[in-house]
Structure 1
Amino acid sequence: MNTRAPSVNWNYPTAMRVGPGRVNELPAACRELGIHTPMLVTDPGLADLPMVETALRICRNDGLKIAVFADVKSNPNGANVDSGVAALRAGWHDGVIAFGGGSAMDAAKAIALMAGQGRPLWDFEDVGDNFRRVDEAGMVPVIAVPTTAGTGSEVGRSSVITDDVARVKRIIFHPKMLPALVILDPELTTGLPHSITAATGMDALSHNLEAYCARGYHPMAEGIALEGMRLVHEYLPRAVADGRNIEARQQMLVASSMGATAFQRGLGAMHALSHPLGALYDAHHGLLNAVLMPYVLQANRDALEAPMERLARYLDLPQAGFAGVLNWILALRAEIGIPHSLEEIGIGTDQVEQVGNMAVADAAAAGNPLEFDAAGYSAILERALRGVV
């Protein structure tokens, strides 16, 4: 393993430019995709920061007519997407730059999808073959520039958008929602606070871990997930301890993209629970997965002895098997400051039954190693609320 952060180009699962300082290639990326009037989609917390100002200056100095859209919630909703589409059309923008964390990525990809559609957003929910309703000519290209290492949405073909009316998170999907070009620049992540680095890093772990454990035959995804977890094991503590560690920051960006590449195999109960909890409590998605992780792992233990044995060996953990992996996760959470229970992050006991019903209906439930009913999901939630692994 290199002890520095190399600059490389990849073409899997899409065109990727990886390395420090590569955000400076934004204008060239736009030209490559035929984008002349990009709309940069970000969130309010980033909109006025130097990194966004720098990206805008680079593009304007190259003659691009660029504007910013930042009306994006931490859990983006349908209204955010509608507003973004209106702004895109009003500015005659011919492409989108998704710049930020998972919320900006999801909103940006949905806005790019909806640019020229005649149907409402929810008509493209990932149910059956709804994606065939999309007018592909009405989509605009996306360049993704993640500033957190967690969701991996930059290499995903879907967006998670909250339906505020139904109070559920819906997955909007189309194969061409995959960004046409991705820039992974670790220098953009060095200013993240410790808490966000920890929560988003655990989100990357959750994607790799659930993909590794998911039902179904997909050895390629399993292999990617395994190496993604090794990168998290080695580099997440370093990134939290020293936010200026460029090597650690880059390896976590890569681990994040690997997790989202691997979870085409499936996800599981972590996400089946975090989606409704995020919709009901507007809580941070990565933090929810981080807190839920050991409780979901324990609930699936009967199906995981063999894969956890392999994982413990691959990570060279001091303790073998399932117990070794579980104890590593508990120790990692404690080391980087992840709360132990959901109650500690403001999740109450008032909607346990409702969350159980929503979890069993969530698309992520289909990949879980064991099949839980609503009562089973509620039981996991109750243990996570009390902190009883």
Structure 2
Amino acid sequence: MKELKLHGNSIIIGKDALDKIKELKIKRAFIVTGGSAMFRNGAIDRLTNLLESCGAQYQIFKDVKKNPSINTVIAAVEIMKEYSPDVVIGIGGGSPIDVAKAAAVFYDYPELDIKNPDSLTLPFKRRKTILIAIPSTSGTGTEVTRASVLTYDDMNLKIGLKCDAFIPDVAILDAALTLSMPKNIVAETGMDALTHAVECYINKNIDEYSEVLAEGAVKGLFKFLPLSFEKGDYESREKVHIYSAMAGSAFSNVGLGMAHGISHAFGGKFGYAHGLLNAIALPYVLKFNSMDEEVNNRLNRLAKIIDVPDFIEAVIELNKKLNIPLSFKDMGLSDEDFNNNFEELLENSMKGSTRVNPVKITKAQMEQLLLNIFKGIV
């Protein structure tokens, strides 16, 4: 038996989707966001003007960094205890939304200790706080998922905490917020979404509902991500925004794979962008996984769907179009950092989503795979 949860109460799409805020009867909002981008592009002003128009109060918690630490969540919860919001709004990229998700849950359950992930028993729903997610990038799918990805600094590792209570009640997909994304962010977050869809599609836990969502996301992203990168027009940005959420709904019910396990290990250690790491790792991981007949058949099916002879080669070519480096070394990771931290990176790459990879990998195989990804030997 398997229970599917594709999203919270509603997903709002279309022009001026952000105006939905006026209908949500918010009294005291706690807004979680990143650095200056949401202020520069006017998103925060749009949001706060909407809140003021319906008489709601708000407090802004800003400067959430990429690969956010659990300490950021702890700081947010402490402020929330004094402010007593009825609604938490995460607006921006995946990092502030993940912090908003965790802050809402740990605010509602102060008895839980976020510092000890191994002993955490997370709840199925929040006690009192409404959670709204407004993504400004198109990749993480966190606006619909049951995961909050946080960095445990003492472990040099990103961990995806998971529970239904993390699923936002409302996801607002307003494509206007994506128009100011720099091209490298379009590429990296878009490839994050593609990695979600592909790793979900080849996962042995796939089901019919999730299969259709993942398949549709792969097809749509291959078509519209290059356009979003090259032209940056409203239509292509909106399409990628929606396909990203579809991929999120799919993998949230299925799981991911080894590209994410490796990405979390290297991101937790060095702070590189999650989507960039996924994009680089994906073709190497797919080549390893293609030794499995079922996975290979699924990759061949995806190739037919996007009308290419070889799916892995198509991913490599898409990376080239998006100016994604071929290897971790090309990305900027030095030989010294890679070699000096190799054992830790190896150990952490075996954790997380690698545990649900469709092909089990030995430590020796992972060692060779990491060397290949670092050097660019596909």
Counterpart residue number, 1:113? 105
- Paired residue secondary structure (1:272): helix
Alignment of 1:316-327 (within 5 A): 316-317=307-308, 319=309, 324-327=310-313
Measured against aligned partners, the alpha-carbon deviations of 1:36-65 in whole angstroms (never above 9, x if no partner) come to: 101111101335321112211121122110
CA distance in 1, matches of 2:120, 2:84: 30
Backbone CA RMSD of aligned residues: 1.8
Determine if contact 1:355/1:378 at 8 Å carries over to the other structure.
no
Counterpart residue number, 1:154? 143
1:47–1:254 distance in 2 versus 1, CA, 3 Å = closer
1:295–1:110 distance in 2 versus 1, CA, 3 Å = same
Counterpart residue number, 1:7? none
2:223 aligned to which of 231, 234, 238: 234
In the alignment, is residue 168 of structure 1 matched against residue 178 of structure 2?
no
Identity of aligned residues (%): 28
CA distance in 2, matches of 1:271, 1:378: 16
Alignment of 1:86-235 (within 5 A): 86-116=78-108, 117-123=110-116, 125=117, 130-132=121-123, 136-137=126-127, 140-235=129-224
CA distance in 2, matches of 1:46, 1:385: 31
Q: Which amino acid aligns with 1:91?
A: Y
Measured against aligned partners, the alpha-carbon deviations of 1:346-389 in whole angstroms (never above 9, x if no partner) come to: 22422233212112122x11221210122222221111111110
TM-superposed deviation, 1:293: 1.0
Counterpart residue number, 1:46? 37
Counterpart residue number, 2:70? 78
1:192–1:47 distance in 2 versus 1, CA, 3 Å = closer
Counterpart residue number, 1:13? 7
TM-superposed deviation, 1:157: 1.1
TM-superposed deviation, 1:171: 2.2
TM-superposed deviation, 1:128: 8.4
CA distance in 2, matches of 1:115, 1:131: 13
In the alignment, is residue 290 of structure 1 matched against residue 279 of structure 2?
yes
Measured against aligned partners, the alpha-carbon deviations of 1:191-250 in whole angstroms (never above 9, x if no partner) come to: 10111000000000000000001122412212211110001011000000111x222111
In the alignment, is residue 55 of structure 1 matched against residue 47 of structure 2?
yes
- Residue range with higher mean Cα deviation, 188-197 or 20-29: 20-29
**Structure 1: which 4+ aligned runs deviate by more than 4 Å?**
none
Determine if contact 2:7/2:145 at 8 Å carries over to the other structure.
no
1:196–1:118 distance in 2 versus 1, CA, 3 Å = same
Counterpart residue number, 1:338? 324
- Paired residue secondary structure (1:307): helix
Question: TM-score by structure 2 length?
Answer: 0.92
**Gapped runs of 5+ residues in structure 2?**
none
CA distance in 1, matches of 2:261, 2:363: 11
Question: TM-score by structure 1 length?
Answer: 0.89
How many residue pairs get aligned? The number is 364
CA distance in 2, matches of 1:309, 1:135: 39
- Residue range with higher mean Cα deviation, 346-355 or 161-170: 346-355
Determine if contact 2:99/2:148 at 8 Å carries over to the other structure.
yes
**Gapped runs of 5+ residues in structure 1?**
1-10
In the alignment, is residue 329 of structure 1 matched against residue 315 of structure 2?
yes
Measured against aligned partners, the alpha-carbon deviations of 1:151-173 in whole angstroms (never above 9, x if no partner) come to: 00000112011111222222222
Counterpart residue number, 1:26? 21
- Residue range with higher mean Cα deviation, 306-315 or 351-360: 351-360
CA distance in 2, matches of 1:147, 1:47: 8
Determine if contact 2:6/2:249 at 8 Å carries over to the other structure.
no
- Paired residue secondary structure (1:384): helix
- Residue range with higher mean Cα deviation, 19-28 or 200-209: 19-28
Counterpart residue number, 2:261? 272
1:148–1:328 distance in 2 versus 1, CA, 3 Å = same
Determine if contact 1:36/1:94 at 8 Å carries over to the other structure.
yes
- Paired residue secondary structure (1:48): helix
